[in-house]
Chain A
């Protein structure tokens, strides 16, 4: 029961402190929200790259290009055969006209190339999505077919992208760590300033017998509120930025499907980011409050 009474007191006092030092609280919230917005942006990039890589690894899409003299029937027969194999989730026969239309959508100059060449140079191809890469060895299966000219698989690209992604992830983590430290430092200093401004009150509280936890805990609550407000605002601001970038800028990059498919973070990530911000508030303010000494 006493614990609840004490906790209620800390919350009330912390809220009163938070509203009393409005300008300082706003400054702290601003810094935290900028940091959290940047962390949200980076997390979105990381989340999408990670998802893309995972999808490419778990469900790779092979493009099988057939020789120029392959007839539509031969292509269709091969596609039907591939559909019967285990471990394949999707087979699509792509005729040259469809390939050219797709290419023209991504690169408007493709139409000009077709005119210059007086015909469609693109071959019949088959798009193959693998459900369980461990079950099927695509290259081995297709080796016996003379109509198969070349096979494009994402593995080479995947390994390059993976090493690039891990390098980028390291820098993202480094920048995020710097932002977290900067926010904790800001909260620490803001709470230190409020403690200095209330030094007289703190001395009086101590002289009338207030326990240190009664004096320190409201400052921790104040820091937590700054962290929570900054976290929510930063996450909203960050996702707003992602929305604007996606709808206004990335739509122009049709030829890079990854960019046009960028999605915002799932709710669990937002909860995690806000919790991180709250933890920064708790840590910074607890450090500052722990420096209050006995009178």
Chain B
């Protein structure tokens, strides 16, 4: 489902984020990506949904070589990937409900479907009562859960999450992880970038370790 072939990423001024990364993540896998701050975790995720392109090597996600992907095909490619961003990236001038429904609109779902589906995912993250609030009216943890709900709403083939439990208390973090497992059990490939070692220990899943752009792997 996700393949990195000799991937290196060098940013401007020579900052090397990833170095010679080779890894494959199969369909339906649940994988953690961990490592210290600045290790290249976010870059790794960005390369998968083509926010960034590799400097060397190639990235294949959902059978698409991201370098060969034409600009016009990027939206269709991204529609199959749900992303929970570290900074949430919620649309500030839209309500929680509108943030979720926007994705469904983009995918062309009929109006009759939008409301039920939006409330379904909001219920999954326990925030159905905040549907009419704006992101600025929510706490960091609540915004994070909305970002998760948005990523889940169209049942993507791949789910990428960048520190999805960073702003959540331990109980809520476990609930969210259970949610990710549930999504994973339906066949969605889940890749979670996190610092939370306790969580990784508890979940006992395949873990990729990034350190200064070099990848190591621990299989549990």
Q: Which residues of A contact B (CB under 8 A)?
A: 1-2, 5-6, 8-9, 20, 200-201, 204-212, 214, 294-295
**Roughly how many angstroms separate A115 CA and B105 CA in the complex, as a whole number?**
86
Expressed in whole angstroms, the minimum distance between the Cβ of B95 and any Cβ of chain A is: 12
**Roughly how many angstroms separate A83 CA and B163 CA in the complex, as a whole number?**
99
Contact yes or no, B103 A208, CB < 8 A: yes
* Option from A20, A204, A210, A294 in Cβ contact (under 8 Å) with B89: A204
Contact yes or no, A208 B150, CB < 8 A: yes
Contact yes or no, A214 B106, CB < 8 A: yes
- Inter-chain contacts of B51 with A (CB < 8 A): 207, 295
B201 at the interface (CB under 8 A from A): no
If A20-B93, A205-B102 touch, whether A212 touches B72 (CB-CB below 8 Å) is yes
**Roughly how many angstroms separate A155 CA and B74 CA in the complex, as a whole number?**
69
* Option from A1, A20, A207 in Cβ contact (under 8 Å) with B83: A207
B138 at the interface (CB under 8 A from A): no
* Option from B72, B106, B110 in Cβ contact (under 8 Å) with A205: B106
**Roughly how many angstroms separate A52 CA and B136 CA in the complex, as a whole number?**
65
B78 at the interface (CB under 8 A from A): yes
Chain B contact patch, size range: 20 to 34
Contact yes or no, A207 B105, CB < 8 A: no
- Inter-chain contacts of B71 with A (CB < 8 A): 294
Contact yes or no, B108 A210, CB < 8 A: no
Known: A208-B103, A209-B80. 12 other contacts (CB 8 A): A1-B110, A5-B109, A8-B111, A9-B105, A20-B93, A204-B91, A206-B75, A207-B49, A207-B51, A208-B89, A209-B75, A212-B75
B101 to chain A: closest residue by CB = A9
**Roughly how many angstroms separate A205 CA and B91 CA in the complex, as a whole number?**
8
- Inter-chain contacts of A200 with B (CB < 8 A): 92
- Inter-chain contacts of B74 with A (CB < 8 A): 206, 294
B171 at the interface (CB under 8 A from A): no
Contact yes or no, A208 B106, CB < 8 A: yes
- Inter-chain contacts of B93 with A (CB < 8 A): 20, 201
Contact yes or no, A207 B78, CB < 8 A: yes
- Inter-chain contacts of B108 with A (CB < 8 A): 2, 5-6
**Roughly how many angstroms separate A5 CA and B83 CA in the complex, as a whole number?**
25
- Inter-chain contacts of B111 with A (CB < 8 A): 5, 8
- Inter-chain contacts of B117 with A (CB < 8 A): none
**Roughly how many angstroms separate A159 CA and B92 CA in the complex, as a whole number?**
66
Contact yes or no, B106 A5, CB < 8 A: no
- Inter-chain contacts of B76 with A (CB < 8 A): 209, 211
- Inter-chain contacts of A8 with B (CB < 8 A): 111
